[in-house]
Amino acid sequence: MRSVRKCSRTGCLEPAVATLTYAYSDSTAVVGPLATASEPHSYDLCEAHALRLTVPKGWEVVRHEGAFVAPDPSADELTALAEAVREAGRSDKPAPDPEPEGPSGRRGHLRVLPGRA
């Protein structure tokens, strides 16, 4: 399930409608429509931040000419979201048992070291 992507700017909770990518070799920032997948070296921006983006002196900004539009969620995504909410709200699920402590004194990823006297 693809969740709604949020703006990458710190403190901004608006949905992303544009993707910012830097072309360092050309000293250019490119702001285009929201990419279909989140990439490690690109940033998702809301409409306000996409339109107000400024760059360092000597750099250029290339912006998408049309309006930025949030992508519509598909029926599959909505169904998966509804199922996840329904599953999280079930009260008949038993609570998971705590992991038993083994003979080595390990519990999960932690371990107990014997003390020195």
For 24-83, write each residue's pLDDT tens digit.
888 999 999 888 887 888 999 999 999 999 999 999 999 888 777 776 655 555 566 666
Q: Say how many CA atoms lie within 13 Å of 48 toward its Cβ.
A: 8
Q: Do 7 and 52 meet the contact criterion of CB atoms below 8 Å apart?
A: no
Q: Say how many CA atoms lie within 13 Å of 24 toward its Cβ.
A: 2
Q: What is the C-alpha to C-alpha distance for residues 36 and 40, in angstroms, rounded to an integer? A: 13
Q: What percent of the chain has pLDDT over 90?
A: 36
Kindly report the pTM of this predicted structure.
0.56
Please give the pLDDT value at position 72: 62
Q: Do 1 and 81 meet the contact criterion of CB atoms below 8 Å apart?
A: yes
Q: What is the C-alpha to C-alpha distance for residues 25 and 11, in angstroms, rounded to an integer? A: 30
